[in-house]
Amino acid sequence: MIPAVDLKFLHSPSSVAVIGASDDSDKIGGRPIAFMRRFGYRGTIFPVNPTRATVQGLHAYPNIASLPFVPDAVIVALPGQDAVNAVDECARLGVKGGVVMASGFSETGRAEDEERQRDLVARARAGGMRLVGPNSQGLANFGTGAILSFSTMFVEQEPLDGPIGIVSQSGAMCSVPYGLLRRRGLGVRYVHGTGNDADLGVGDLAAAVLADPEIRLLLLYLEDIRDCSSLECAARMAIERDVPIVAMMGGRSAGGRRAASSHTGALANEQRVVDAFFSRVGIWRARTLTGMVDTAALYLQDWRPRGRRLAIVSNSGAICVLAADAAADNDLSLATFQTQTTQALEEVLPPFATKVNPIDITAALLTDSSLFGKVLPILAADSGVDAAFIGIPVSGKGYDFPQFASDTAEFANKDNKPVVVAVPQARVADEFQAKGLVVFDDEASALTALGQYLHHRELRQRVREAAPLPPRNIWSGESRVLSEAAALTLLREAGIPSADVRLCTSAEEAEAAFADLGQVPTAVKGCPRESTHKSELGLVKLDLCTSLQVREAAQELLDLMERLGLEADGILVTPMVKGVREALIGAHVDSVFGPVILVGAGGKYVEALDDVRALIPPFTVDDAREAIQSLRVASLLAEVRGEPAADIEAWARAAVALGQLMIADPSLRSVDVNPLMIGAATGEPSFGALAVDAVVERFDPTVCCVPT
């Protein structure tokens, strides 16, 4: 894994020059100066403006060469070619790093602008200078006051240093989460907008943020991933430091991908592969801005959850019902109380209150404010309760809600169990928040956030225990398709069970193979050396039951391949295989992420169903099983109307073996096994999983095939 880039010269520069400095603190060249002076930057600020003697009360300089010494960092607030020229001069003088705010580079999609960006980076690298941008809103570190940014949000929402970092390819999507977090009273230290990622990218800046020992949560917004190695490095740092990373990535829809491309010059990655990569490295992918921000307060707690078994307590039966529904929506199970817990609840609750989970204390809370204080310690003692939801939709005057808040806080501090609270009344919610509790307006928001927090914690633990990702050896160049016989042999040697296939070169050999196979219903297929569309070419004959049928089919296919001018190894004779279900496993080499394995619903409707999940190898049988069980067809894999359950374990083992094959042999470009016949988990047919057809494409190392 590549080491993280040391970016102290951008996070904690001893001096900053602003090229294109403005006396107007509302302009791009003026805001960074105003922000640094306002938010406690203790280094030296050098305004560079050839037309002014002073800028915002500071002595100004006509150019970078006239400064009394070379600054650590520069902000380039000049347009187009002027920005390129300024970077060139800074690099020649030995400036360590800079933020280029100008737009009009690769994000436009115009060839001349893309060339200008390449020139910008080349000039910086020639002098050892590192760049953020272009098209960057800038970087902000409220720990040091180094605000190399022009974000309007810092004017609207007063900064507060805290344990959260934000790194985004979009300027708006670093500012908006910052504003929402500050409205929730949470402190944010880093707010970085990377822009076009022409040099330093999201992964580099994420790793630099994670190097700060006071950071406890990192939020990312991406519109593409061009360098997964640096992002993987950051993710590994986060796992080692036990810092959660929550990411949003735009471009899940066709319209979103088009917008992303025009916004930052991004090339949208295939989304299911992005999901697989995030999962493999322990990053939680939030689908909405709410999902990214609402959970932040949970991540900052010192909880030590053991599982996802939830206790629900409310003074409203309706909230109990809605909370139970929300728990199910977020894959949280309702805890089954121990016998002694139920007995203790019966002793302290009124007869008409519910003593099983969810617990409805009822309106009795109005007359007996001690009920929360009696119930919660009982739940705290139950080892089967991993987390709790407290819903108080009705409180206020007549209720001792300060006591409710104290009782809940004591429960939360007992054994550090996660607790989320839903209180719609602001005055009541304030009491709970003052006790350090995580409070939401409603049960759905609270349990969605809790579900994310608990699932993400489990994901990070799995990643911590998993084998590291291997180095990527991504080949490029010309490739060729193996014959089906060669493809099935390759899979069999890799430990993926394959159908009993006989390669024959004549009709007589095919007839003999049929007899040797026991004269069972048989398929005869042409075996051209590089053709992948046998069915479309009429090269497949199924359900042949006699020697005459096999011999005639074999001769017909041999003649057809000759007429089509196909080089062929011969014909294949194989028993017909009927399984419980038709599945697929596949693999391809992604140009960014390397080998990717697919599991999904197979058969002739595979394109129409599009029911596929991706995995990044190496992974375990448990990982593959979880991916299979997340498919839309998962409900059909269990026993259905007398049909036996499918052997998911065998399917998962085949996927693991394919992942190991792709790692071991980087010359493989793609593998498509469809159908992979799945046998019965118990009963007949009991063959596990069997590849009956395969297409393998392999790079040819003798023809322009080079590692990149």
Q: Strands (DSSP E) along 101-196, which ranges? A: 130-132, 138-141, 146-149, 164-168, 188-193
Q: Looking at residue 257, what is its pLDDT? A: 45
Indicate whether 131 and 13 sit together in one domain.
yes
The reported pLDDT for the residue numbered 355 is 85
Is residue 396's pLDDT more than 80? Answer: no
Burial class (CB in 10 A: 0-12, 13-18, 19+), 521: middle
CATH number at residue 83: 3.40.50.720
pLDDT (0 to 100) of residue 36: 98
Among the ranges given (6-15, 131-140, 400-409), the one the predictor scored with the smallest mean pLDDT: 400-409
CB 626 within 8 A of CB 331: no
- pLDDT of res. 254: 52
For 592-651, the pLDDT digits (tens) are 999 999 999 988 778 777 899 999 999 999 999 999 999 999 998 998 877 899 999 999
* Least confident segment among 60-64, 159-163, 185-189, 288-292: 288-292
Asked if residue 344 belongs to a domain, the reply is: yes
Confidence of residue 705 (pLDDT cuts 50, 70, 90): very low
- For 164-218, how does the pLDDT look when each residue is reduced to its tens digit (9 = 90+)? 999 999 988 999 999 999 999 999 999 999 999 999 999 999 999 999 999 999 9
Residue 476 domain-assigned (yes or no) = no
142 inside domain: no
pLDDT tens-place string over residues 299-310: 999 998 899 999
Q: Are residues 126 and 12 in the same domain?
A: yes
What is the rounded average pLDDT of the residues 650-669? Answer: 96
Rounded to a whole number of angstroms, the distance between the first and last alpha carbons of the chain is 16
pLDDT tops 60 at residue 397: yes
Single residue among 525, 550, 575 that ends a domain in this structure: 575
State whether 439 and 313 are in the same domain: yes
Does 129 lie in the same domain as 228?
no
Regarding whether 182 and 97 lie in a shared domain, the answer is: no
Q: Would you place residue 652 in the very low, low, confident or very high pLDDT band (cuts 50, 70, 90)?
A: very high
Domain end point (choices 101, 135, 169): 135
Give the pLDDT mean for 701-706. 54
CATH code where residue 613 lies:
3.30.470.20
Residue that is last in its domain, among 413, 444, 465: 465
Residue of 708 and 60 predicted with greater confidence: 60
pLDDT band, very low/low/confident/very high, at 2 (cuts 50, 70, 90): low
Q: What is the mean pLDDT of the chain?
A: 91
What confidence tier does 149 reach under pLDDT thresholds 50, 70, 90? very high
Question: Computed from CA positions of residues 476, 479, 484, 486, in that sequence, does the dihedral angle turn out positive or negative?
Answer: negative
347 is a domain residue: yes
pLDDT at residue 374 greater than cutoff 90: no
Confidence of residue 587 (pLDDT cuts 50, 70, 90): very high
Question: How far is CA 465 from its chain centroid?
Answer: 18
pLDDT tens-digit map of 381-391: 999 999 999 99
Per-residue pLDDT band at 260 (split at 50, 70, 90): very low
The pLDDT score that the predictor gives to residue 704 is: 44
User: Is 198 among the domain residues?
Assistant: yes
Answer yes or no: is pLDDT of 671 > 70: yes
Output the six-digit token pair for 701: 């190392």
Residues 156 and 277 in one domain: yes
pLDDT at 318 over 90: yes
Quote the pLDDT of residue 371.
81
Q: Kindly tell me if the per-residue pLDDT of 155 is higher than 50.
A: yes
Averaged pLDDT for residues 460-489: 88
- Are residues 565 and 589 both part of a single domain? no
Q: How far apart are CA 185 and CA 592, in angstroms?
A: 38
Q: Is the peptide bond before 358 cis (omega within 30 degrees of 0)?
A: yes
Kindly state whether residue 484 falls inside one of the protein's structural domains: no
Same domain, 61 and 122: yes
pLDDT given for residue 262 in this prediction: 41
Is residue 682 included in any domain, yes or no?
Answer: yes
Identify the residue with better confidence: 6 or 21: 21
Is the pLDDT at 543 greater than 90? The verdict is: yes
Instruction: Give the count of domains, the chain.
Output: 5
Mean pLDDT of 688-694: 93
Residues in the chain: 708
Give percent above pLDDT 70 in the chain: 95
For residue 700, the model assigns a pLDDT of 77
Residues of the chain above pLDDT 90, percent? 75
Q: For residue 491, tell me if it sits in a domain.
A: no
Tell me the H-state helices in 211-288: 228-241, 254-264, 271-281
- Is the preceding omega at residue 377 within 30 degrees of 0, hence cis? no
Whether residues 194 and 322 share a domain: the answer is no
Those residues with Cβ within 8 angstroms of residue 273's Cβ, 6 or more apart along the chain or in another chain: 590, 593, 596, 614
Helix (H), strand (E), coil (C) string for 175-190:
HHHHHHHHHCCCCEEE
Residue-level pLDDT at 67: 97
Q: The dihedral of CA 285, 291, 295, 296: what is its sign? A: positive
Q: Same structural domain for residues 289 and 434?
A: no
Q: Which residues touch 37 (CB under 8 Å, ≥6 apart)?
A: 45, 56
Q: Which domain holds residue 378?
A: 301-465
558/586 same-domain check = no
Q: Are residues 103 and 81 in the same domain?
A: yes
Q: What is the CATH number of the domain that holds 455?
A: 3.40.50.261
Instruction: Assess contact for 49 and 22: CB atoms under 8 A.
Output: yes
